[in-house]
């Protein structure tokens, strides 16, 4: 679509990519805190001031890395879903496991997007779309787990009222009209649980209790699948 016309534009595009790539390398090995524009420039053999022709500030570079991280995580999750079996519970398991696997493989990227934001940082519009992909995937699997006919043995819990009811109604209308609001709320709870648990594991808060956290993670995933009402496996 956007053909690169001049050699200058081509060089610019390539350098922009290379800077981000080297920055991502340093992010992966050193963490966002220690990522240094000057070190990136040094590694690329250019003056530190030249970086600013491509990224107006360190925060902008970090934002690009954030978008990439969200996208990479969501791609990983999508790939896991594509390779997963067809039962909703197995897909839920595959999704959650993929998220954890990505987090353990890319701890600094995970910390960058789900850890402490930089004090003055406001998430630009471009980050919210890739960031939303993962909760959307969770909701999608939750929808797959809905029975075709409303169950009669386990009555649906009452829909929350008040402000939460309005928020849920809005979300439901936008992305899951077939999901009861109570179930949507539970999916959101499972969402926060998943990332809370992964964050705890990654940041060492489970060190004294569930040190190899694999079993605890797997168990929690099942409990959350129960919570959102995914049918048990036969």
Residues that bind DNA (CB under 7 A): 5-9, 11-12, 15, 35-39, 45-50, 52-54, 56-59
Query: Which CB sits closer to DNA, 33 or 192?
Result: 33
DSSP secondary structure letters along 95-151: HHHHHHHHHHHSHHHHHHHHSPPPTT----HHHHHHHHHHHHHHHHHHHHTS-SS--
> Shortest Cβ distance from residue 215 to a second copy (Å)?
3
Answer yes or no: are the C-beta atoms of 98 and 80 closer than 8 Å. Answer: yes
> Shortest Cβ distance from residue 36 to DNA (Å)?
3
Q: Which does 36 bind (CB under 5 to 8 A by kind): DNA, a second copy, none?
A: DNA
d(CA 187, CA 43) in angstroms, rounded, equals 44
The shares of helix, strand and coil residues in the chain, as percent rounded to the nearest 5, are 65, 0, 35
Enumerate binding residues for a second copy (CB under 8 A).
30-34, 108, 111-112, 114-119, 123, 128, 131-132, 135, 160, 162-164, 167, 171, 185-186, 188-189, 192-197, 199-200, 203-205, 207-212, 214-216, 218-220, 223-224, 227
Query: Which CB sits closer to a second copy, 14 or 60?
Result: 60
């Amino acid at each position: 679509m956007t053909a690169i016309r001049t050699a200058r534009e081509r060089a610019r595009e390539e350098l922009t990519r290379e800077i981000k790539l080297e920055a991502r390398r340093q992010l992966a090995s050193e963490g966002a805190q220690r990522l240094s524009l000057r070190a990136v420039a040094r590694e690329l053999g250019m003056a530190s001031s030249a970086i600013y022709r491509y990224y107006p500030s360190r925060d902008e570079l970090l934002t690009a890395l954030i978008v990439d991280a969200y996208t990479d995580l969501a791609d990983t999750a999508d790939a896991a879903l594509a390779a997963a079996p067809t039962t909703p519970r197995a897909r839920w398991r595959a999704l959650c496991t993929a998220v954890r696997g990505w987090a353990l493989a890319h701890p600094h990227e995970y910390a960058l997007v789900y850890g402490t934001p930089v004090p003055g940082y406001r998430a630009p519009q471009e980050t919210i779309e890739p960031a939303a992909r993962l909760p959307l995937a969770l909701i999608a699997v939750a929808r797959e787990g809905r029975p075709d006919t409303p169950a009669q043995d386990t009555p649906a819990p009452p829909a929350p009222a008040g402000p939460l009811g309005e928020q849920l109604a809005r979300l439901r209308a936008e992305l899951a009209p077939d999901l009861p609001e109570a179930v949507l709320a539970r999916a959101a709870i499972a969402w926060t649980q998943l990332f809370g648990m992964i964050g705890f594991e990654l940041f060492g808060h489970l060190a004294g209790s569930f040190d190899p956290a694999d079993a605890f993670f797997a168990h929690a995933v099942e409990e959350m699948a129960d919570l959102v009402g995914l049918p048990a496996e036969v």
